[in-house]
Amino acid sequence: MEPYKSQIGQPVSRLEGHLKVTGTARYAGDYSVPGLLYGYVINSTITKGKIISFDTSRAKALPGVLEVFTHENRPSLAWFDLQYADMDAPPGSPFRPLQDADILYNGQPIGLVVAETFELARYAATLMDIEYEEEAFDTDLRSQQHLARSPKIGMATMLKPLPPKPKGNFEKAFNASPNQVSAEFFHGTEHHNPLELFATTTVYEGKGKLTIYDKTQGTINSQMYVANIFGLKFKNVRVISPYVGGAFGSALRPQYQLFLSVMAALKLERSVLVTLDRHQMFTFGHRPPTVQRTRFSADNNGIITALNHLAIGETSRFEDYTEVVVNWSHMLYPAANTLMQYKLVELDVYSPLDMRAPGGVTGMHAIESTIDELAHKSKIDPLQLRLTNYTEIDVSLNRPYSSKELRECYLQGAEKFGWDKRNPEPRSMRRGNKLVGYGMATGIWEANQLPAKAEAILTGDGKLKINSAVTDIGTGTLTVMTQIAADELGLPVEDVEFAYGDSKKPFAPIQGGSFTVSTVGSAVKAVGAAMRKKLFSIAKKMKGGVFDGTDLRDVSFEGGRIFITNNRSRSVSFQEIIVANDNKPVKLSKFSVPSILKLKKYSRAAHSAVFVEVEVDEELGVINVTRAVTAVAAGKIINPKTARSQILGGMIWGISKALREETIQDDGLGKYMNQNLSEYHIPVHADIHELDVIFVDEKDTVVNELGTKGVGEIGIVGMPPAITNAIFNATGKRINQLPIHFDMLL
Amino acid sequence: MNNFTYKRAESIEDALAQNSSGGNSSYLAGGTNLVDLMKYDLTRPDTLVDLNRVDGHHEIYETPEGGLLLGAFVTNADTAWHPSVEERYPLLSKAILAGASAQIRNMATNGGNLLQRTRCYYFYDANVPCNKREPGSGCSAIPGYNRIMAILGTSESCIAVFPSDMCVGLAALDATVHVEGPTGSRSIPFADFHRLPGDTPEIDNTLLPGEIITGIELPANGFSKNYSYLKLRDRNSYAFALVSVATGLELDGNVIREARIALGGVAHKPWRVREAEEFLAGKTADSVHFGQAAEIILRGAVGFPHNAFKIELAKRAIVRNCMMALNPESQLPGAQPSV
Ligand SMILES: Cc1cc2nc3c(=O)[nH]c(=O)nc-3n(C[C@H](O)[C@H](O)[C@H](O)COP(=O)(O)OP(=O)(O)OC[C@H]3O[C@@H](n4cnc5c(N)ncnc54)[C@H](O)[C@@H]3O)c2cc1C
Ligand code: SF4
């Protein structure tokens, strides 16, 4: 027999890939159940004010329309804010759909038509006679900056620490430094726009029991939300989410289609599907617009002396959404004097929501552009400046990194890219009539782990099943968890089934923040290890005494058998073990909890170094990112194929953020204007050229048992500044507003 | 979106008859624009008369005058890839392929392309004022976000742009539009087909109610030796033009015998200025003369807060595209800038 080949580290293709590309995979809106009704949401057409009257009679008169729910006739619901709070709720009062006549933002859901067909519901929704009383509103962050205030503190602050306290004397040190840079940045609103539209199918099972197919990044999060608001027993609410067609953070919080679908199902005692259309995908969370100001300085040797980073982000009037924007520079550059400030402005919009590398990609653009300018002013190569200021400890919190192979990322990335061929003089490199520029930047993203539970069942056929409530938002969770479990028991991946996406299964937190592999993977590893132990203990008691005188250290698990490592002729199969277990499957579960005390002694982060080449058509301004190399250090890479896809996706999104993507906001009207994928520009194939990914070896024995740091966000973080720095090298122009439109370079 | 009756026409006569049976009826071709407008509840026809099965007007053929006739119901894709179009009217082929996406071009028809509505954001949002959608309600784009709007031929009531790429090529080539209507058939020179907004921006063109486009005729000269289409936009494909230019040149050695320059993305219709073309006749083909022509073409252009850049951009695009026309082999897919 072939010795067992470790599955961890293998480029296993997505196990559900064929189901997805053949259209067999069913998403939340794809379940047709008998007697299904269809809901269509009615959204506010004003930005702020009150509904004076809401006449639904024309719609209700249509045959096939069952009900129109509004704030006037909705069932009575939970009373306390806490009951509406989900796992990702920021401090404040969560938005309650159909609560009352108040309009808090444009596009707010104010009603739901329920009809026999989707088309009828959609048509009926056009027959509403609604009178509003409009009030003055403000949606413009830049004009309201003077109202910026400190954010409220709450549960969410745990994973999103506020800025560290000032160190040294920033003003004094900055003013005394020979090389100073000040810059101001603006990032506009962005919407997640996953391809799959938000949908919830609530199957009414009778007697207060519901099975809910929901587009979510957390089945238990949705279950909790529904049970709390509608006063249902947890065990009577089952939320399933087997496939998710992208989410990027947008499904970290239960969205209003879930609320409305459940409300209608309970009231009408029928199954109800509510799907949002693309336009409505712009009526909930988004990446907040942010203003940033930086002031960095260095001495004549390129040692960074002082760092000041201020960010002012948008939030709603009802919640304080925060993200970590300004904490990063001091984690990377050990200046003695720092001043980090983070503030919010309340506007008449819906609460912002985590979107891939929330805060990180925003802050690092400002930081790494400013560092680039500092290098330029100090006449030091930007890569050299970063190496000069390289640190093994996180000075902002005064603790070592659990591991940090960023230096290797810089070196390997630079080598692969050919950084040594860069001419530091802006406008000095040309190709035909195009200016060519090289730029680089650093990426960083925290490596977290949360508690999670997993269950393992070994059945009579010798196959292993693992259960977890976790979702797979398209990142490859199913595949990676299967690999981890397979390795623990030495099974081929075909003999492992990972069953997930179901709130009935053991607890997993929401899937985000790049912590799923570390969180759920650790639980899977732990339950796998427990299963080894258990199987061995049964085997040891078996007749024949194959394992007499051995313990767990002396045996290996391979291909469905336990062998004595030094004497492979002695072994027992999993099937035999189950027989010995009275033919009963072996079942156990394990809670994995991060070892907080150990973790607290370290800063834990994934890092990247990004190198970009751009071509700029000088006369016309047209920009192309012709080449990009990202070198990533993110601990153990479980599956280089799915991990590479994550980094490529992040890099492409970085191109999007730097050059394409924006939600166009009309502050006079208080609303978004490009609410479709024709005008909300994400990159097309013709925008994407050569992309390279390097995974740098990084061993981490602190972060978790697996040594993983997560790769979901790190791919995007360094791209926008690397691109804008390359544009500077090509053109001599620094454009600090994203996205950069080509006409800004004219 | 409202309920509607779907009817299928067998012939042009049948379509005209079905359309005139009262009520609010629309012709349906590829549906790539009309169905979107219906889904956004911006238009509510009670009847759709499907033209796709009409006999005739599904071909492309040579005319006795030496030109080419493009049937109205031929798809944009089939037109762009038709051997005669590729060989004799490559400018048109390039312009079509610079538009929309492969999927949309496979559905979109030549007739429908001429009649697509503007892409003004405010036109597509039924809850904000727009004179084109609701005459007299006001224009939201003038005080609003007007990056994609017009700089030429605007009026106080509308600054929208006609978004077609194909039509910029057709304008440069001096095409003729053939139509049939309740009162007979007529031919409309391309320059007279689309109109400026004036104080009736709700009217995009000079087609009369009920009239059907049956074909588009190209004259014999296709400028197939020196031509270029350049499209400047916010991504390299699948985005409407901020500025586009179609150029056709007839050269005697280095001297221009005849020039055609049409602009897209800048006005309520494809923009052509004969004076500039006449200026170029007899001049050497160089960037100085093209630059002077560009100044003539952009005369009278007025920018708004977010689109003033289009004036300078259009001038540079004209010069670049004329230079690209001198060297058609250098051109890149997607009508991206080259040379
Ligand atoms: C996302 C998107 C991106 C696009 N990008 C571009 C682009 O970059 N460049 C570009 O040029 N175009 C672009 N288009 C527009 C596309 O080219 C048009 O939608 C298409 O050409 C319309 O043709 P159709 O046959 O589908 O027309 P339909 O939608 O069927 O009809 C449009 C209108 O014309 C009428 N009509 C159609 N045929 C006739 C006829 N023969 N006689 C009388 N009336 C008729 C219909 O009643 C309707 O009012 C884009 C479209 C979309 C949806
Ligand atoms: S520019 Fe024209 S189409 Fe746009 S809002 Fe104004 S009137 Fe309407």
Cβ-Cβ pairs closer than 8 A, A with B, add up to 80
Cis peptide before A91 (omega within 30 of 0): no
Residues 6+ apart with CB under 8 A from A244: A27, A194, A196, A215, A216, A217, A251, A471, A472, A473, A474
* Cα A685 to chain centroid, rounded: 23
Q: Which amino acid is at A743?
A: D
Hey, which residues of A are catalytic here?
713
Number of C-beta neighbours around residue A426 at 10 A: 17
Identify whether A291 is part of a domain: yes
Q: How many residues does chain B have?
A: 339
Q: Which amino acid is at A661?
A: E
- The per-residue pLDDT for A289 is 98
- The per-residue pLDDT for A82 is 86
Tokens 């194959």: give the residue.
A546
pLDDT band at A78 (very low <50, low <70, confident <90, very high): confident
B32, B205, B236, B269: residue to mutate for ligand 1 pocket, most atoms within 8 A of CB:
B32
Domain match, A641 and A500 both: no
- B93-141 per-position pLDDT tens digit: 999 999 999 999 999 999 999 999 999 999 999 999 999 999 999 999 9
**Starting from the edge strand earliest in sequence, which strands make up the sheet with A337-346, in order?**
A337-346, A304-315, A290-298, A179-187, A737-738
pLDDT band at A686 (very low <50, low <70, confident <90, very high): very high
- The per-residue pLDDT for A348 is 98
Identify whether A10 is part of a domain: no
End position of a domain, from candidates A227, A248, A277: A277
Mean pLDDT of chain A, nearest integer: 96
Q: Are A66 and A114 in contact (CB under 8 A)?
A: yes
Q: Are A591 and A453 in contact (CB under 8 A)?
A: yes
Domain match, A410 and A323 both: yes
Mean pLDDT, rounded, for A305-312: 98
Given an 8 Å threshold on Cβ–Cβ distance, is B3 in contact with A669?
Answer: no
- The per-residue pLDDT for A2 is 64
Number of domains in chain A: 3
Write down the pTM of the prediction: 0.97
Domain match, A412 and A460 both: no
User: A216 is in which domain, residue-wise?
Assistant: 31-136+194-277
Structure tokens given for B178:
């053939």
> For B309, which of A122, A687, A743 is closest by C-beta distance?
A743
Q: Are A329 and A293 in contact (CB under 8 A)?
A: no
For B125, name the nearest residue in chain A, comparing CA atoms only: A673
Identify whether A504 is part of a domain: yes
B22 has a pLDDT exceeding 80: no
* CATH number of domain containing A499: 3.30.365.10
Radius of gyration for the alpha carbons in chain A, expressed in angstroms and rounded: 27
Given an 8 Å threshold on Cβ–Cβ distance, is A684 in contact with B235?
Answer: yes
Given an 8 Å threshold on Cβ–Cβ distance, is A668 in contact with B143?
Answer: yes
Given an 8 Å threshold on Cβ–Cβ distance, is B334 in contact with A742?
Answer: no
End position of a domain, from candidates A254, A277, A300: A277
A513 has a pLDDT exceeding 90: no
* CATH number of domain containing A116: 3.90.1170.50
How far apart (Å, rounded) are the C-alpha atoms in residues A124 and A590?
51
How far apart (Å, rounded) are the C-alpha atoms in residues A224 and B313?
55
Identify whether A1 is part of a domain: no
A468 has a pLDDT exceeding 60: yes
* Cα B147 to chain centroid, rounded: 19
Distance B117 CA to ligand 2 centre (A): 11
How far apart (Å, rounded) are the C-alpha atoms in residues A244 and A196?
7
DSSP string, A618-661: TTT--EEEEEEEEEEE-B--S-HHHHHHHHHHHHHHHHHHHHT-
Residues of A in contact with B232 (CB under 8 A): 620, 622, 742
Q: What is the DSSP letter of B317?
A: H
For B309, name the nearest residue in chain A, comparing CA atoms only: A743
Gap from B281 CA to chain A (nearest CA, Å): 26
Atom of ligand 1 nearest to the CA of B76: 21
Distance A516 CA to ligand 2 centre (A): 47
Mean pLDDT of chain B, nearest integer: 97
Q: Are B139 and B133 in contact (CB under 8 A)?
A: no
B4, B34, B234: residue to mutate for ligand 1 pocket, most atoms within 8 A of CB:
B34
| Nearest in space to B249 (alpha carbons), one of B324, B339, B191, B168 | B324
| Helix A477-489 with A516-541: angle, nearest 10 deg | 30
Distance A144 CA to ligand 1 centre (A): 42
Q: CA torsion sign, B259 to B264 to B269 to B271?
A: negative
Domain match, A290 and A256 both: no
Structure tokens given for A201:
């199918």
Q: Is A660 on the interface with B (CB under 8 A)?
A: yes
Mean pLDDT, rounded, for A692-707: 97
Q: What is the DSSP letter of A687?
A: G
Given an 8 Å threshold on Cβ–Cβ distance, is B140 in contact with A666?
Answer: yes
- The per-residue pLDDT for B20 is 85
Domain match, A349 and A382 both: yes
For B317, name the nearest residue in chain A, comparing CA atoms only: A620
Which of residues A242 and A271 earns the better pLDDT score? Answer: A271
φ and ψ at residue B213, rounded to 5 degrees: -80, 130
CATH of domain B5-50: 3.30.43.10
B40, B48, B104, B244: residue to mutate for ligand 1 pocket, most atoms within 8 A of CB:
B104
A1 has a pLDDT exceeding 70: no
Strands (E), A244-370: 272-275, 290-298, 304-315, 337-346
- A452-461 per-position pLDDT tens digit: 999 999 999 9
Mean pLDDT, rounded, for B21-36: 92
How far apart (Å, rounded) are the C-alpha atoms in residues B215 and B58?
9
Tokens 């806490």: give the residue.
A82
Q: Is A122 on the interface with B (CB under 8 A)?
A: yes
Number of C-beta neighbours around residue A101 at 10 A: 17
Identify whether A437 is part of a domain: yes
| Fold classified for B226-329 | Enolase-like; domain 1 (3.30.390)
Identify whether A5 is part of a domain: no
Given an 8 Å threshold on Cβ–Cβ distance, is A746 in contact with B313?
Answer: yes
CB burial of residue A186 (10 Å; 0-12, 13-18, 19+): middle
Q: Is A701 on the interface with B (CB under 8 A)?
A: no
| Nearest in space to A337 (alpha carbons), one of A367, A372, A364, A308 | A308
Domain match, A85 and A130 both: yes
Percent of chain A with pLDDT over 90: 95
- The per-residue pLDDT for A81 is 84
Domain match, A86 and A121 both: yes
CA distances A78 to A72, A75, A401, Å, are 16, 10, 45
Percent of chain A with pLDDT over 70: 100
The predicted complex's ipTM stands at: 0.96
Given an 8 Å threshold on Cβ–Cβ distance, is A684 in contact with B144?
Answer: no
Identify whether A636 is part of a domain: yes
Q: Write down the domain spans for chain B.
A: 5-50, 226-329
Identify whether A123 is part of a domain: yes
Domain match, A57 and A150 both: no
> For A743, which of B1, B145, B313 is closest by C-beta distance?
B313
Q: Is B82 on the interface with A (CB under 8 A)?
A: no
Q: Is A58 on the interface with B (CB under 8 A)?
A: no
Structure tokens given for A47:
């930005």
The protein residue with its alpha carbon nearest to ligand 1, atom 3, reads B100
For A740, name the nearest residue in chain B, comparing CA atoms only: B234
pLDDT band at A155 (very low <50, low <70, confident <90, very high): confident
Structure tokens given for A494:
């075909």
Q: CA torsion sign, A75 to A81 to A83 to A87?
A: positive
| Ramachandran quadrant class, A98 (left: phi over 0; alpha: psi -120 to 50; beta: rest) | left
CB burial of residue A2 (10 Å; 0-12, 13-18, 19+): exposed
Domain match, A569 and A604 both: no
Q: What angle do CA A94, A96, A100 make, to 5 degrees?
A: 130
Domain match, A430 and A554 both: no
Domain match, A327 and A443 both: yes
End position of a domain, from candidates A277, A295, A317: A277
Number of C-beta neighbours around residue A563 at 10 A: 23
Percent of chain B with pLDDT over 70: 100
CA distances A573 to A320, A491, A527, A609, A658, Å, are 56, 12, 20, 47, 56
Distance A726 CA to ligand 2 centre (A): 38
How are beta strands B25-28 and B47-50 bridged, if at all? parallel
Q: Is A619 on the interface with B (CB under 8 A)?
A: yes
Buried b (16+ CB within 10 A) or exposed e, B53-76: ebeebeebeeeeeebbbbbbbbbb
Distance B302 CA to ligand 2 centre (A): 16
How far apart (Å, rounded) are the C-alpha atoms in residues B90 and B225?
9
- B160-193 per-position pLDDT tens digit: 999 999 999 999 999 999 999 999 999 999 999 9
